[in-house]
Chains A and B, each alone.
Chain A
Amino acid sequence: AQRVTQPEKLLSVFKGAPVELKCNYSYSGSPELFWYVQYSRQRLQLLLRHISRESIKGFTADLNKGETSFHLKKPFAQEEDSAMYYCALSPYPYGQNFVFGPGTRLSVLP
């Protein structure tokens, strides 16, 4: 069965420092990977998906099939990036269980 792991429950960085939120997955097929974010007192929302190859709010994530990873990166963290981040996996073909990781709380310190 597919599984998503995020090794860090909490990650603290200083403003302006680079940030990397780690995500590893286990799935034998070709998954689609996502990052979701939940800011304080706001609802969960989709941040980005690997298929789009886009940069959202300065964040990027590259799917590394060899290392089965989908780490989220930003070169210069901002205080407003403080939030809960969830990595998620959608198995292909669709119709199977969409799986969320346990989440990492990012705290950007002034």
Chain B
Amino acid sequence: SAVISQKPSRDICQRGTSLTIQCQVDSQVTMMFWYRQQPGQSLTLIATANQGSEATYESGFVIDKFPISRPNLTFSTLTVSNMSPEDSSIYLCSVGRETRPQFFGPGTRLTVL
């Protein structure tokens, strides 16, 4: 199993600013994913964070809006840039195998005013 921590756990931000969310895993993992869960909705995959190369983004998500770093096999960051109220969500880090998430972080609850 893998234990995942995220920072911050929650934040309230002003429109137009950016927030970087950190994800730390207690063991080396190959696959790391970033998900978004908007209020009352299910999880949507934003991107797969690739170690040493650019993240793989899903349709509807772009690097300029959600830049991702993955400097090593235990750590990744997701930045939500130029935020608007529509970005208010829970952002989840996950690790797994192939494209399948298995363990999830506690989530970062973001509110944009």
Contacts and interface: CB of A to CB of B under 8 A. Distances in A.
Contact of A46 (B43, B44, B103, B107): B103
Contacts of B42: 86, 100-103
A26 to B, nearest CB: 15
Interface string A75-108: 0000000000010001000111110111100000
Chain B interface bracket (under 10, 10 to 19, 20 to 34, 35 or more)? 20 to 34
Given A43-B104, A43-B105, A45-B103, A97 B45 contact: yes
Contacts of B98: 90, 94-95
Contacts of B41: 102
B67 interface: no
Nearest to A6: B42
A32 interface: yes
A32 B102 CA distance: 13
A70 interface: no
A94 B99 contact: yes
A102 B33 CA distance: 19
Interface in A16-69: 32, 34, 43-46
Interface in B87-113: 92, 98-107
Contacts of B43: 44, 86, 100
Contacts of B44: 100
Nearest to A90: B100
A62 to B, nearest CB: 19
B102 A96 contact: no
B103 A96 contact: no
B99 A43 contact: no
A43 B107 contact: yes
A94 to B, nearest CB: 4
